[in-house]
Structure 1
Amino acid sequence: MAFKVLFSLLAVLLCANAVFGVKVISKAQWGGRTAKSRSNLASGLSYAVIHHTAGAYCSTQAACSQQMRNMQSYHMDSLGWSDIGYNFLIGGDGQVYEGRGWSTMGAHATNWNSKSIGISFMGNYNNDKSTAAQIAAAKALLADAVSRGQIKSNYILYGHRQVGSTECPGNNLYAEIKKWSNYRA
């Protein structure tokens, strides 16, 4: 009996990892630079903040990798930040791209960086519309964040405009995330 329960639990865990495990295009894979410095981001966070880059939309890994390099250069060289501002980004190709990653505090939302994970969609979502693949990737990334303990299971999801004076994440993406289970007005 104990063996059967243990086997069932193992099967559930393996299925959960298959569901929540997200393939992330690493900084090395997209050609990113090393951060100038970093601050640790705590685990067990209560918030996730969704953004858009307001830049060009990309639909292939090559184009999204170029957008990542451009954005990192802008954030580091023009804004003087230590690295790209977001923890993760979602490309129009439906893939997740590593920004600062899981354990490094972002620079994505003033006064919210230490208590949230920042996820940005590449493109301008006042004009662009998110694809089913992007939505699935973002939801899988959030589920992965919960399974890793990075954010709490009852985390609150905000659009950037809810925590700062901005149009971000764009009207189209904001309308989409309002349908997600952890979104709060």
Structure 2
Amino acid sequence: MRKINLIVIHCSATRCNQRYSIDSLRDDHNARFHNKGIGYHYYIERDGQLHKPRDESEVGMHALHYNAHSIGICYEGGLDEKGRSCDTRTPAQRATMLALLRSLKSAYPDADIKGHCELEGVHKDCPCFSCQEYRDYFANIKP
């Protein structure tokens, strides 16, 4: 069993007015990763629908140098209508994300939650919001 000490949150880097379905993500990742499937463990669509394209027991393909010990979550969006970085999470995505993080923190209580942009060597805005809100939330929960 893998030792998970990190949960990495990503955005799909797609405009808030453009659909990016799980099928589109699968096609893009298969092209990018030579038909090895979606690199994230979880994908949250705008309507809050949660997909689990990769089992947690499998090493992901979402954060170079961090995949072996992390779980990758991606939400649909991250760019405004003009293609600029923006927190585009819908209320449904926020609710699904929090429920998923509760479950993951229960399974992996020592795992830190970070945005992709917070990892050393990453030079992008992904996930286009501060994950501090989740670290604060879980810091205030008594075991």
Looking at structure 2, the residues matched to 46 and 94 of structure 1 have their Cα atoms a distance apart, in angstroms, of 25
State the percentage of identical aligned residues: 27
TM-score (norm 2): 0.78
What does the per-residue CA deviation read over 1:41-100, in whole Å, with 9 as the maximum and x for residues that have no partner? 61x4111001001024489xxx66xx2111111111244251111100111101211121
Match of 1:15 in 2: none
Aligned counterpart, 2:124? 166
Residue 48 of structure 1 aligns to a residue whose secondary structure is strand
- Taking structure 1 as the reference length, what is the TM-score of the superposition? 0.62
For residues 63 and 41 of structure 2, the distance between their equivalents in structure 1, rounded to whole angstroms, comes to: 11
Structure 2 regions of 5+ residues with no counterpart? 80-84
Alpha-carbon distance in 2 for matches of 1:69, 1:102: 20
Encode CA deviations 1:115-147: one digit per residue, 9 max, x unaligned.
110001111242352123212211111221233
* 1:50 alignment partner in structure 2: 9
Q: How does 1:117-156 map to 2 (within 5 A)?
A: 117-125=71-79, 126-147=85-106, 149=107, 151=108, 153-156=109-112
2:54 corresponds, among 91, 97, 100, to: 100
Tell me the distance in 2 between the aligned counterparts of 1:89 and 1:57: 16
Distance 1:155 1:70 in 2: 29
Q: Which has the larger radius of gyration?
A: 1
Check whether the contact 1:58–1:122 (CA below 8 A) recurs between aligned residues. no
Match of 2:82 in 1: none
Q: Is the 8 A contact 2:48 2:93 kept in 1?
A: yes
> Is residue 82 of structure 1 aligned with residue 17 of structure 2?
no
Partner Cα separation in structure 1 for residue 68 and residue 44 of structure 2: 21
Asked if structure 1 preserves the Cα contact closer than 8 Å seen for 2:60 and 2:71, the reply is: yes
Residue 156 of structure 1, CA deviation: 0.9
Contact 1:51 1:169 in 2 (8 A): yes
Unaligned runs of 5+ in 1: 1-40
Aligned to 1:113: 67
Q: Name the SS of the counterpart of 1:161 in structure 2.
A: helix
Extract structure 1 runs of 4+ deviating beyond 3 A. Answer: 56-59
- Partner Cα separation in structure 2 for residue 76 and residue 140 of structure 1: 28
